[in-house]
Structure formats: C-alpha cells, structure tokens
Amino acid sequence: MTSGSRRAAFAAIVAALLAAHGGAFGDESGAGPWDLGQLMRELSSVHTARARFTEKRYLKMLDRPIESSGTLAFEAPARLEKLTLLPKRELLRVEQDKVTLEIGAQPKRRTLSLSDHPQLRAFVESIRATLAGDQAALERFYQVDLSGSAERWRLKLQPSDMKTKSLVREIRITGRHSEIIGVEVDQADGDRSVMSMVPDDS
C-alpha cells in the first residue's frame, strides 16, 4: 500500500471509529466527580448506537472543504459501519481485524487487514478502547487530556507511538455527559476533518 493510500485509509478509520457513538447516548449525569474515569464509565454504558453525521474534510490541495453525510452504527466491542450517502455512496466496515471499504452504487470492495499495519492496528484498538470506556487501554496508546465539565467536555488525544504520530497529530472529541457531539482530526500532513453527529432514531 502506498503512503497516500495508507493515509487515506487511516483517516477513514479514525473518523468512523470516533464518530460511531455520536449523539446516540442518553444524557446520564452519573455519580461521583467528573474525571476521565467517570467519562469512561458513561461511554461504556452504551453497547449499540446509531447516529447521522455530517463531515467536512479540509485538504491542503483544495480551496474548499469536501462535505459528506450519512449514518453510523456501532456494536460493542468491535463492529462499526460508516455509510456515506452524499455526495456518493461509500461503506466502511470495521470488524475485528478486518476493514472493508465499498465505493459506488455497484461497489468495488477492498479489504485491509490491520495485522499487516501495526500502527493502524494500535490506533484502531485505542479508539475501540474509547468506545468501550477502557481507560487503561486508551492510555497505553495516547496522551489523554480531559477538560471542561460533564455538561461540556473535551477529550484531547495525542498519539504516544512515533509511527502513529506520522499519520495523525491530534484528535479532539467534544460532548456532554455520555453524548459525543463532535470530532476533529488533525492529520500529520496538515489535512483535517470536522464531524458532527445527531441521534438516528429511525
């Protein structure tokens, strides 16, 4: 896989994994002081989730952002689907070690094994740890900084591994209680993506 295609696959995995819980949580205040442990407990309370997303990707080579929208679905602990409907159909599925990408109405399928890409696997597992509320696993891969309050918090993730740092610089997740409302991903090459989510009650 070339450097460019590896970065594209990585960016897609990042956006999909982080956004899967977006807007699908109840507004649970929980008990005890608000800290990373409390946030992880609230995130771990949701085992399935669905959301609608809108995303803007800012690429250095383009004057305007690329806009897309669609739906997301997550089943704990390891299954995720991101279905982009506009501007064109694209399905990204992450399940265990396998990532599958289908593009177009009559899709061509491409499959990627995370075992063949250790830095991607480390990243995916750390994001799964976020969705699962596994603080110990998350901190093995990231420098984690939580700011704000339960009503409006921000989780900043900076990769600890140099190979992962070569692909992504920082991830910022915003939310309220157990509801994720936004995800921003800054890639190491200067490109970035901004995603917002709302519950999908259909």
In tens, the pLDDT along 157-179 reads 998 888 888 888 998 888 888 77
The yes-or-no verdict on residue 36 having pLDDT over 70 is yes
Tell me the pLDDT band of 58, cut-offs 50, 70 and 90: very high
CA distance 171 to 15: 10
- Whether the model clears a pTM of 0.95, i.e. scores above it, the answer is no
Task: Please give the share of the chain, as a percent, with pLDDT higher than 90.
Answer: 28
What's the burial of 154, exposed, middle or buried (CB within 10 Å: 0-12/13-18/19+)? middle
The predicted structure's pLDDT at residue 5: 55
> Which residues touch 125 (CB under 8 Å, ≥6 apart)?
137, 141
Q: Which residue has the higher pLDDT, 172 or 7?
A: 172
**Domain 3-199, CATH 1.10.510.10 — does that match?**
no
The predicted structure's pLDDT at residue 147: 93
> Average of pLDDT values for 142-151?
91
Tell me the pLDDT band of 94, cut-offs 50, 70 and 90: confident
Question: pLDDT tens digit string along 68-86?
Answer: 999 988 887 778 888 999 9
Would you tell me the crossing angle of helices 118-132 and 3-19 to the nearest 10 degrees? 10
Peptide bond into 77 cis (omega under 30): yes
Region of 77 on the Ramachandran plot (φ > 0 left; ψ -120 to 50 alpha; else beta): alpha
Backbone angles phi, psi at 136, to 5 degrees: -60, -45
Q: Which helix (H) or strand (E) holds 132?
A: helix 118-132
> Average of pLDDT values for 150-160?
90
Largest pairwise CA distance in the chain:
51
